[in-house]
Structure 1
Amino acid sequence: MKENIQPLNPIAFTLGPIQVHWYGIIIGSGLALALFLAIREGNRRGLPKDTFADLMLWAIPIAIISARIYYVIFEWKYYAQHPSEIPAIWNGGIAIHGALIGSVITTYVFAKKRGVSFWKITDIAAPSLILGQAIGRWGNFMNQEAHGGEVTRSFLENLHLPNFIINQMYINGTYYHPTFLYESVWDFIGFILLILLRRVNLRRGELFLSYVIWYSVGRFFVEGMRTDSLMLTSTLRMAQMISIVLVIGAVAILLIRRKKNLSEERYLDQSIS
Structure 2
Amino acid sequence: MSEILGVIDPIAVRFLGIKVHWYGVIIGLAIMLALYLAVSEGKRQGLRPDDFYDYLLYALPIALICARIYYVIFQWDYYKRFPAEIYRIWDGGIAIYGGLLGALLVLVIFCKKRQLSPWLFLDVIAPTVILAQGIGRWGNFINQEAHGEAVSRIFLVQMHLPNFIIEQMNIGGTYYQPTFLYESVWDILGFLVLILLRHRKKLFKQGEIFLTYVAWYSFGRFFIEGMRTDSLMLLGLRVSQWLSVILFIGALSTIIYRRLNNKHLPWYLVVQKDDDQA
Q: TM-score range by the shorter chain?
A: over 0.9
Q: Does structure 1 residue 270 correspond to structure 2 residue 265? A: no
Partner of 2:231: 229
2:143 alignment partner in structure 1: 143
Partner of 1:246: 247
Q: 1:257: which partner in 2? A: 258
Q: What displacement does 1:82 show?
A: 4.0
For structure 1, which segment, 93-102 or 41-50, has the greater mean C-alpha deviation from structure 2 after superposition? 41-50
Q: Partner letter of residue 245 of structure 1?
A: I
CA drift of 1:83 comes to 4.0
Are 1:116 and 2:95 matched, yes or no?
Answer: no
- In structure 1, what is the equivalent of residue 275 of structure 2? none
Q: CA separation in 2, counterparts of 1:139 and 1:90?
A: 14
Shift of 1:226: 0.2
RMSD across aligned C-alpha pairs, in angstroms? 1.6
Cα drift, residue 30 of structure 1? 0.9
Q: 1:8 is matched by which residue type in structure 2?
A: I
Change (3 A) 1:92 1:263: farther
Is residue 2:254 matched to residue 1:214? no
> 1:157-216 deviations in whole A, cap 9, x for unaligned?
111111110001011121000000000000010000000121224110000000000000
Structure 2: how far apart are the matches of 1:91 and 1:158? 34
Residue in structure 2 matched with residue 14 of structure 1 by the alignment: 14
Is the partner of 1:226 in helix, strand or coil? coil
Q: Percent identity?
A: 57
2:95 corresponds in structure 1 to: 95
1:58 and 2:45 correspond: no
Cα deviation, residue 21, structure 1: 0.8
Query: Larger deviation: 155-164 or 45-54?
Result: 45-54
Structure 1 residues not aligned, in runs of 5+: none
Alpha-carbon deviations, 1:115-167, whole Å to 9, x = none? 10000000000110000000000111111000000111011011111111000
Residue deviations 1:249-268 (CA, integer Å, cap 9, x gap): 11111111111116621111
CA distance in 2, matches of 1:90, 1:20: 12
Give distance in 2, aligned partners of 1:199 and 1:43.
14
Aligned partners of 1:140 and 1:146 also within 8 Å: yes
Q: Deviations over 1:206-258 (max 9, x none)?
A: 00000000000000000000000000123x00000000000111111111111
Question: Structure 1 length as normaliser, TM-score?
Answer: 0.93
Aligned length: 267
Q: Does the Cα contact within 8 Å between 1:92 and 1:140 map onto a contact in 2?
A: no
After TM superposition, the structure 1 = structure 2 runs for residues 186-225 of structure 1, keeping only pairs within 5 Å, are 186-201=186-201, 202-225=204-227
On the 8 A contact 1:150/1:176 being kept in 2, the answer is yes
> Partners of 1:192 and 1:156 in 2: how far apart?
26
Contact 1:204 1:266 in 2 (8 A): yes
Q: Which amino acid in the other structure matches residue 255 of structure 1?
A: I
Q: In 2, distance between residues paired with 1:25 and 1:214? A: 26
C-alpha distance in structure 1 between counterparts of 2:109 and 2:163, whole Å: 46
What is the match of residue 156 of structure 1? 156
